[in-house]
Amino acid sequence: MAPADIPEIKRAGLPVDLNRLTADGDDWLSAGERYALKTHGVCAQAQPHVFMIRCRTGGSLTSRTARQLAAVADRCGSSWLHLTTRQQIELHHVDAREVTTVLEEVRRTGLTTNSACGHTMRGVMSCPDAGVGLEEPFDCRPDARAIADSILELCPALNAKMPQRLNISFGGCAECRNHAKLNDAGFVSVITDDGELGYELWVGGSLGKSAPTLATKALDFVPRADVLPAVHALFDVFVTHGNLDQPNKARMKFLVRRLGVEPFLELFRDAYAQAPTRTWPPPAPVSTPLTSSITEILAHVPEGGWGSGVRPQRIPGRAMVTVNVPLVSCAGDPLKI
């Protein structure tokens, strides 16, 4: 099969008949339609007639949802779940005729597969320690969820205009501060001297074999109330000035490089300055900085002491426990605990 003409399928509106998979399997799919499936979180595997389905978690998962996904994997997949580096969960080896069934079962868990693959806004990452870690200035998860929800509402039309994928992260611990510079948009949690919560914004970062690039700081401080306007401004610049016809040279880093850092930032700041002309929902309440002293928190030492796998939470007497998952894949049974 010839490679997909991705710009052409985007201009056609990314048409694909998901329901036909149930009736006829996948032999009828063109290369372009296989690409369009990605925007629904459905990716063809190397093996014939089976697909990977990627679920957006928002960076956290309840035990109930984990058990539900494990049950779906048992019924319709390989009984294994793959945990991705961007905090998503994948079900592998789903038969083509079962794809729509799995999509519906994922929706019933409260998750979505929309825009999880392809040239879309991928899953918005938030610090694993958000809301509980001692280094996190405040809980960034509500702002990450607000961005995901706001952009996903636009995706039926937006995905056809996206030059490439766009990765976004949130966090304020030391590791997340560094990770922000490897994302198309990285929000680093900060608190001003007068107690206002917000973020540094870094743009244009990316790893990968094609021109790995560290992000550029776009704004020293974005108040929480302006996070949505800032992200929408970034999308406006990316869609308007990005290279739709050359996907391999269309990541944000290439746009920054082609325009130059200062011209790019000027375009972004101009779009961001238009934010007051629109009405934006207020940010959700978040947990505030520590209410207990570090000394009090560390005094509650668990049996075996503190370590890299057992770390103190903000609440005295509670701990975070890290579970290592070999090869980031696990059978469904461990998630049914």
Whole-number pLDDT of residue 327? 78
Contact between 252 and 203 under an 8 Å Cβ cutoff? The reply is yes
Contact 33, 78 (CB under 8 A): no
Count of domains observed in the chain: 2
Residues 198 and 88 in one domain: no
DSSP 117: S
Could you tell me the two tokens for 169?
Answer: 């992260």
Do 107 and 11 sit in the same domain of this protein?
Answer: yes
List the domain range (segments joined by +) for residue 53. Answer: 6-118+325-336
**Domain match, 222 and 147 both:** yes
Q: Which pLDDT value is given to residue 275? A: 81
| Domain stops at, among 237, 261, 277 | 277
Burial class (CB in 10 A: 0-12, 13-18, 19+), 154: middle
Does 227 lie in the same domain as 86? no
Residue 30: Cβ within 10 Å count: 14
Residues 201 and 247 reside in one and the same domain = yes
Residue 76 lies in a domain: yes
In a domain, 332, yes or no: yes
pTM of the shown model: 0.94
Residue 54's SS3 state is: strand
- Please tell me whether residues 147 and 88 are part of one structural domain: no
Residues 103 and 131 in one domain: no
Is residue 315 assigned to a domain?
Answer: no
Query: Where residue 93 sits, what CATH number does that domain have?
Result: 3.30.70.2500
Is 130 contained in some domain?
yes
Note whether 45 and 106 are same-domain residues: yes
CA distance 159 to 150: 14
Digit-by-digit pLDDT tens for the chain (337 residues) are: 788 999 999 999 999 999 999 999 999 999 999 999 999 999 999 999 999 999 999 888 899 999 999 999 998 878 889 999 899 999 999 999 999 999 999 999 999 999 999 999 999 999 999 989 998 999 999 999 999 999 999 999 999 999 999 999 999 999 999 999 999 999 999 999 999 999 999 999 998 888 899 999 999 999 999 999 999 999 999 999 999 999 999 999 999 999 999 999 999 999 999 987 889 999 999 977 677 888 888 889 998 899 989 999 988 999 999 988 887 787 777 776 6
Count of CB atoms situated within 10 Å of the CB of 153: 11
What's the pLDDT at 220?
98
Residue 297 covered by a domain: no
Same domain for 99 and 47, yes or no, is yes
Full DSSP string of 246-306: -GGG-SHHHHHHHH-HHHHHHHHHHHHHTGGGS--PPPPP---S-SS-HHHHHTSPPTT--
3-state secondary structure of 170: strand
Pair (107, 241) in one structural domain: no
Same domain for 106 and 17, yes or no, is yes
**Given 3-state DSSP classes, what are the helix, strand and coil percentages for the chain, each rounded to the nearest 5?**
40, 20, 40
How long a stretch of residues is the chain? 337
In a domain, 293, yes or no: no
In a domain, 267, yes or no: yes
Residue 232: give its domain's CATH number.
Answer: 3.30.413.10
Do 98 and 185 belong to one domain?
Answer: no
Cα-to-chain-centroid distance, residue 179: 13
311 domain residue, yes or no: no
